[in-house]
């Protein structure tokens, strides 16, 4: 063993599994049911995380591997699962994602799906029913967790949907644009700016609603993908619905190949082979990548890109929101300036929030992305004198060990109500985060003082 470095295993990793990210991306597409090709435990694990964060019923199907499927292959299981989901839910689409088990044994899922489609077409032809429904669209993303995080899975699923639905054609071919005109964007009949694609990244349902408001103010016809603002944060139902309303319309996805621009929110390496890259390479749709619009600088950049792409000015509503944010920075400067933070989460989230913290005078003493683990972070944080931690609920024990407060945001937040409604993006989202940081620091000071304060 001489000459070999010691190895320490990951302890409480900052990342989540790739099929989890794929499942939530699929849930942001109209009428789509996620189906994991693997064991039932994978879907149960993801449903548990999703329900505790979004507080909504979430259905994720499974091909339900048993010992025999793990040995002899799961093609039969996958076909049965597709049939069952189609019959029970009547979905418009089924989003298939692989798991560690199916990837480890070398399942050729694209071949299985090709055979399944051929068998389905043959059965329809033999039935002689010309009006027979063709069945749901099926997309597939390879998402082994040992090869990536939940963010790789998220982007792989979005790309799989685009590859499957965007019509084949040469770069710039407007195929599919008429079928989706006026959908998922400005009202029909208005003088719309060019169609814009926006790839949202893994943000909250409230963030998606904010993106709707921002994009709508530019009078543009847009495709926001994915869009789980309703499917994962809907209204109360009188009766249970197998498929919640909402999600990016399939026709709107089909029209993405004819857009004037794709705006990708997030600049992490995980996005390099995402749907935006495919649309640029295969359909010639220009791609602009920008950081998540958190903080004044990043949000200014987002509005500049939209104004350039649409030819429309930034609305007075957003200029006033920016002014209120600047005013808030001034009001709360004495509470945040000079403080130190521990920041963790997805790389895009950490990068954008880190920029925001720098704007308000907070030094990021330690960061943690998907490659890190909380145990190591806690050890490295000793002696840094951090004033607070900022990130999801998985960092609670790190914050407690260090005796500092935790500002909860990002995903997952499963120990508080309203996690799905935390607004992070835009000027209003930045203002919300600023209030959270300042109020957390004020509360911590009150608690530590013992006698308390009426004014701070």
Following CA atoms 283, 218, 227, 18 in sequence, which dihedral angle do they give, to the nearest 10 degrees?
A: 60
| pLDDT for the residue numbered 270 | 67
Q: Which residues, at least 6 apart from 402, have a Cβ–Cβ distance to it below 8 Å?
A: 342, 378, 381, 382, 386, 389
pTM of the predicted model as reported, rounded to 2 decimal places: 0.91
**Domain spans of the chain?**
18-165, 178-234+244-315, 318-449
Distances (CA, A) of 56 to 51, 201, 391: 5, 20, 22
Domains 18-165 and 178-234+244-315 share a fold: yes
What CATH architecture applies to the domain 18-165?
Answer: 3-Layer(aba) Sandwich (3.40)
User: How far is Cα 389 from Cα 379, in angstroms, rounded to an integer?
Assistant: 14
Question: Is the pLDDT higher at 128 or at 409?
Answer: 409
pLDDT of 394 above 50: yes
* Token pair in block for residue 409: 């945001």
Span 67-119, pLDDT tens digits:
888 888 889 999 999 999 999 999 999 999 999 999 999 999 999 999 999 99
Q: Which residues, at least 6 apart from 61, have a Cβ–Cβ distance to it below 8 Å?
A: 33, 34, 35, 36, 43, 81, 84, 85, 94
* Token pair in block for residue 456: 């701070």
Helices (H), 202-315: 205-217, 250-254, 275-283, 296-310
* CA angle in degrees (0–180, nearest 5) for 217-219-220: 115
> 318-449 has which fold?
Rossmann fold (3.40.50)
Among 266-280, 395-409, 429-443, which stretch is predicted with the lowest mean pLDDT?
266-280
Multiple choice CATH, 178-234+244-315, 3.30.420.40, 3.40.50.1980, 3.30.70.2970, 1.10.8.60: 3.40.50.1980
Token pair 């002689």: residue = 128
Look at residue 93 and give its three-state secondary structure: strand
| pLDDT for the residue numbered 183 | 46
pLDDT of 281 above 90: yes
Span 113-155, pLDDT tens digits:
999 999 988 887 777 765 566 789 999 999 999 888 999 999 9
Give the mean pLDDT of 419-440: 97
Highest average pLDDT, of 3-7, 191-195, 272-276, comes from: 272-276
Q: Any idea what DSSP says for residue 274?
A: S
Half-sphere CA count of 327, side-chain side, radius 13 A:
7
Q: Are 425 and 211 in contact, with CB atoms under 8 Å apart?
A: yes
Burial of 236 (0-12, 13-18, 19+ CB in 10 A): exposed
What are the two backbone dihedrals, phi and then psi, of residue 428, each rounded to the nearest 5 degrees? -70, -35
């Amino acid at each position: 063993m001489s000459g070999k470095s010691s190895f320490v295993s990951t302890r409480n990793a900052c990342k989540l599994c790739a099929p989890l990210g794929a499942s939530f991306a699929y849930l942001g597409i109209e009428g789509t049911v996620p189906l994991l090709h693997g064991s039932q435990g994978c879907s149960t694990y993801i449903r548990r995380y999703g329900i505790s964060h979004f507080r909504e019923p979430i259905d994720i199907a499974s091909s339900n591997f048993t010992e025999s499927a793990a040995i002899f292959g799961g093609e039969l299981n996958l076909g049965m699962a597709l049939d069952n989901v189609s019959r029970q839910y009547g979905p418009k689409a089924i989003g298939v994602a692989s798991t560690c088990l199916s990837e480890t044994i070398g399942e050729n899922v694209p071949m299985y799906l090709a055979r399944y489609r051929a068998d389905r077409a043959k059965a329809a032809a033999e039935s002689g029913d010309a009006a027979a429904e063709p069945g749901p669209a099926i997309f597939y993303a390879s998402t082994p967790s040992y090869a990536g995080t939940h963010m790789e899975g998220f982007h792989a699923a979005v790309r799989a949907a685009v590859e499957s639905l965007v019509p084949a054609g040469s770069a710039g071919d407007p195929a599919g644009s008429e079928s989706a005109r006026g959908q998922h964007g400005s009202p029909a009949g208005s003088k719309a700016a060019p169609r814009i694609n926006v790839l949202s990244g893994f943000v909250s349902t409230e963030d998606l609603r904010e993106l709707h408001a921002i994009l709508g103010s530019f009078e543009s016809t847009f495709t926001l993908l994915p869009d789980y603002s309703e499917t994962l944060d809907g209204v109360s139902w009188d009766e249970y619905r197998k498929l919640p309303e909402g999600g990016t319309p399939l026709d709107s996805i089909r029209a993405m190949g004819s857009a004037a621009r794709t705006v990708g929110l997030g600049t992490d390496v995980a996005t390099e082979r995402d749907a935006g890259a495919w649309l640029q390479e295969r359909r010639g749709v220009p791609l602009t990548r920008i950081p998540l619009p958190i903080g004044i600088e990043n949000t200014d950049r987002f509005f500049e890109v939209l104004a350039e792409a649409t030819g429309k000015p930034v609305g007075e509503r957003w200029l006033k929101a920016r002014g209120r944010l600047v005013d808030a920075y001034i009001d709360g400067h004495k509470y945040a300036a000079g403080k130190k933070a521990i920041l963790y989460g997805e790389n895009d989230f950490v990068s954008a929030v880190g920029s925001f913290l720098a704007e308000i005078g907070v030094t990021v003493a330690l960061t943690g992305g998907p490659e890190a683990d909380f145990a190591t972070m806690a050890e490295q944080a000793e002696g840094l004198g951090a004033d607070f931690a900022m990130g999801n609920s998985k960092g609670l024990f790190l914050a407690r060990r260090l005796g500092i407060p935790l500002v909860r945001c990002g995903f997952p937040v499963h120990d508080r109500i309203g996690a799905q409604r935390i607004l992070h993006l835009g000027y209003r989202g930045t203002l919300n985060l600023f209030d959270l940081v300042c109020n957390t620091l004020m509360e911590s000071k009150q608690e530590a003082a013992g006698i308390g304060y009426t004014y701070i």
